[in-house]
Structure 1
Amino acid sequence: MDTGTHVVMGLALGGLATLDPVVASSPATVTSVMIATLVGSQAPDIDTVLKLRNNAVYIRNHRGITHSIPAVLLWPLGIVAVIYPFFPDANLLHLWIWTFVAVFLHVFVDIFNAYGTQALRPFSSKWVALGIINTFDPYIFGIHVVGIVIWAFGGHPGYTFLAIYIILIGYYIYRYLTQKAVLRAVKKLIPDATEIIIAPTMKFHQWRIAVMNPNQFFVGRANNNKVRILDQFKRVPVPETPVLKAAKKDKNLSAFLSFSPVYRWEIDDYEDFYEVRFIDLRYRSNGHYPFVAVVQLDRDLNILSSYTGWIFSEEKLRKKLDILPS
C-alpha cells in the first residue's frame, strides 16, 4: 500500500489496541503502543530510501528483504528496544504484540497489491502479488479517515476500528470474488491463455489485464467484468544475439527483467549505436506503456547509457539517457 494508507492503518491499530485490557489499564502502555504501531506500520518501507541511489537498486530491493519473514520478526524487536526505555512502566509483552501486529499487517496488505512482496524469503525469492487491491485504494484509505474522525470527536477508538476492520474483511473478500469473475471472463475470451495478470486500478470496477498465449500478448481492460482487448502483440522470444547479450549485462535492464513478468522488446540500429528497449505490458495508460528499460550500446557493444523506470514522454527518456539518436 502507499505511505498514507500505512500511516492511517498504524493509527487505527493504536486505536484498536485500546480493546486490549492490559493496554487500556496502563497510560504508559497506551502511549507506547500508539507510537509503536505507527512506527511499525511504516518500518518495512524503509527501503524506499534506495530510490535515492537509482531505480535499478530500488526495483531489485523494494519490498524484498525488509518484507521477509526474518524482517517481520526482527522489526518489532528493534522498535520495542528503542521505545521501551522511554516508557519503562509499559507492559513489554503487549507492547511487542501490538508492534508485531503492525509490522505483520503492513507486509500482509502489501501482498494483495499487483506489485507484491518477497514475503516468503528466505524460503523463496518469488514475488507474492495477488493483484486484488490497488496500491492506493481510496475506499480503504477513506474508511480509515472516517474512523480517525469519529475517534477525534469522542468515539471509542477500539470499537470504531473493530467495526471498520470487519467491514474491510468483507471488502477484501468481495474484491477477491470480483477478480475471479474477471479471470473467468478472460479465460472465456482467450481460452489458450498460458498466463493471465489481472491488476486493480483506483476505479472500483476497472482492472488492467495482460495475457499471454503461445503466440501473442494481449493487453486490455475489464469494466464490470466485461473484458476489452486494447492491444495485441506478436510474442517473439528474446534472441541470444551479441547485442542483447551485452545489453542484459546492464544493471537497469537486469533489474527490469527481475521484476517484470510480461514484456516485449525492440532493437533500433542507429548510425553510431544500438538501442535496446524492453516494455512492461502491465501498465498501459492512455495508449502508452510507461514502465520501460532502455540500454544504448556503441558499435563495440560497450554500454553508453541506460535507464529503467516510469517515462511518459520520449523527450524525458532522451534526457534521462543523455544521448539523442542521429
Structure 2
Amino acid sequence: MDTVTHTLFGIVLYRAINKVEMTPSLKRSFLFTSLVGSQSPDIDVISQLWDTQGMYQMWHRGITHSIFMVPIWAMLLSLICFLIWRTKDKRIFFLGVLAVFIHDTSDIFNAWGTGYFEPFTHARLTFGTIPILDLTIWAIILGGLIFARVRKHIASHKVFKGVWCLITAHIIIQSVQGYAIYQSVDDRYEQVALSAEFAPWNYQVIGKHGDMVEISNATVWSEPEVVYTLPSATKANLDELFEKNPAARTLRQWSPFVVIVDDDKQLGIYDPRFYRNGQSFLFEYIEKNNKGAN
C-alpha cells in the first residue's frame, strides 16, 4: 500500500482502541505505536542512499517486511515507549505486533508484493487483488471519520472497529473475485499474474505464453478482453545487459516474468504488470550504441 494508506491504517487502529481511563502517557504510547508501527517496515527506502548495484527492488519490501520481523519491530516500539514515556504495558507490544502485521500483510495484496518469508526465501509474495493506492479504503475510512463526528453518542472505538470490518470485507471481496479470474485463465498461459485496477472489481490479467505476453482487462462478469499483445525476445542473450545494468538482473529475479526488448536501439527487460500507455515504469535497459544504462 502507499504511505498515506499505511498512515490511515495507523490512525484507524488507534481510534479503534477503547482509551477510557488510560493515562496521558499511555495514550501517547498507543498513538506512537499505532502510527510508527504502521510505517516502520518502509524504513527500507533509505537503502536507495547506498544502492550502487541496482538491488533496491530486492531491498524494498524485503527483510523489513518479513512476517518474522513483526515481533522484533513490536519489541523495539515497546522499548522506545518505555524510554520516552516510561510506560510498561504489554498491550503496547501487542499493538505493535498488530500494526506491523497489518502493514506487511496488506502489502502482499498489491502487485508489487513483499518478501513476506525472508530470509528463508527471496521470492515476492503477491496476490495483485488490491491496487497500491486503494481509493475504496480511503472512502471507508473517511466515512468512518464523518460518522464518528456526526454520531457522537456512539463510542468512537466501536465506529472504527466497524471501519476495520468494512476494510476487511472489501479486501476479501476483491481477492475472491481476483482468484476466480485467475483460475479462469490459468490454463490459457504458461505464467499468469494479476494486477488490480483503481476501480473496484476490475483487474488486469497478465499472461505469458511462449514469446508473447497478453494484458487483458477482466471482471468476474465478463470474458477477459485483450488490450495489449507484447512480443518478448526470449532467445536474446542478456549477459551484456546484466553486466552493464545490474538493476536488470534484480528486476528479472524480482518479477514473476518479464518482457524482453531486443531491437536496433535497446536491449532491456520490463515488468508487464506495470505496463501503461505503451511503457512500463519498471524498465531496465542498455542502449545498443553503448552510451550507457538507464
Length-normalised TM-score, structure 2? 0.88
Q: What's 1:276 paired with? A: 267
Are 1:253 and 1:295, in contact at CA under 8 Å, matched by a contact in 2? no
Mapping of residues 1-326 of structure 1, within 5 Å: 1-18=1-18, 24-27=20-23, 28-52=25-49, 56-88=54-86, 90-152=87-149, 154=152, 155-187=154-186, 191-223=187-219, 224-240=221-237, 244-249=238-243, 250-269=245-264, 275-296=266-287, 304-307=291-294
Q: What is the deviation of 1:304? A: 4.8
1:202, 1:15 → 2: CA distance? Answer: 27
* C-alpha distance after superposition, 1:88-121 (max 9, x if no partner): 2x34211111111111111011111111110111
* C-alpha distance after superposition, 1:102-158 (max 9, x if no partner): 111110111111111101112222111011111111111221223234445645231
1:150, 1:34 → 2: CA distance? Answer: 21
1:38, 1:289 → 2: CA distance? Answer: 33
- The 1:60–1:180 alpha-carbon spacing in structure 2 relative to 1, beyond 3 Å, is closer
Are 1:252 and 1:306, in contact at CA under 8 Å, matched by a contact in 2? no
- Rg (Cα) greater in structure: 1
Are 1:262 and 1:282, in contact at CA under 8 Å, matched by a contact in 2? no
2:248 match: secondary structure:
helix
1:81, 1:264 → 2: CA distance? Answer: 47
What is the root-mean-square deviation in Å for CA atoms of aligned residues? 2.4
Are 1:193 and 1:212, in contact at CA under 8 Å, matched by a contact in 2? yes
2:122, 2:51 → 1: CA distance? Answer: 22
Q: Which amino acid aligns with 2:11?
A: L
The count of corresponding residues between Structure 1 and Structure 2 is 288
Q: Which amino acid aligns with 1:99?
A: G
Are 1:208 and 1:283, in contact at CA under 8 Å, matched by a contact in 2? no
Q: What is the deviation of 1:162? A: 1.1
Q: Which runs of 5+ in 2 are unaligned?
A: none
1:266, 1:57 → 2: CA distance? Answer: 21
Are 1:116 and 1:130, in contact at CA under 8 Å, matched by a contact in 2? yes
Q: Which amino acid aligns with 2:10?
A: G
1:185, 1:60 → 2: CA distance? Answer: 31
2:273 match: secondary structure:
coil
* C-alpha distance after superposition, 1:12-49 (max 9, x if no partner): 1112222xxxx643223222111211110010011123
Q: Which amino acid aligns with 1:256?
A: L
Are 1:276 and 1:296, in contact at CA under 8 Å, matched by a contact in 2? yes
2:17 match: secondary structure:
helix
1:225, 1:82 → 2: CA distance? Answer: 52
- The 1:304–1:81 alpha-carbon spacing in structure 2 relative to 1, beyond 3 Å, is farther
Are 2:241 and 2:268, in contact at CA under 8 Å, matched by a contact in 1? no
1:282 match: secondary structure:
helix
Q: What is the deviation of 1:65? A: 1.0
- The 1:8–1:135 alpha-carbon spacing in structure 2 relative to 1, beyond 3 Å, is same
- What stretches of structure 1 move > 6 A for 4+ residues in a row? none
Q: Which amino acid aligns with 2:33?
A: A
Question: Which stretch has the larger CA shift, 54-63 or 132-141?
Answer: 54-63
1:247 match: secondary structure:
helix
Are 2:213 and 2:232, in contact at CA under 8 Å, matched by a contact in 1? yes
2:175, 2:67 → 1: CA distance? Answer: 24
Q: Which amino acid aligns with 1:245?
A: D
- The 1:235–1:287 alpha-carbon spacing in structure 2 relative to 1, beyond 3 Å, is closer
1:98, 1:43 → 2: CA distance? Answer: 13
1:122, 1:49 → 2: CA distance? Answer: 19
Are 1:181 and 1:225, in contact at CA under 8 Å, matched by a contact in 2? no
Q: Which amino acid aligns with 2:171?
A: Y
Length-normalised TM-score, structure 1? 0.80
1:135 match: secondary structure:
coil
1:165 match: secondary structure:
helix
Q: What is the deviation of 1:283? A: 2.0
Are 2:174 and 2:201, in contact at CA under 8 Å, matched by a contact in 1? no
Q: Which runs of 5+ in 1 are unaligned?
A: 308-326
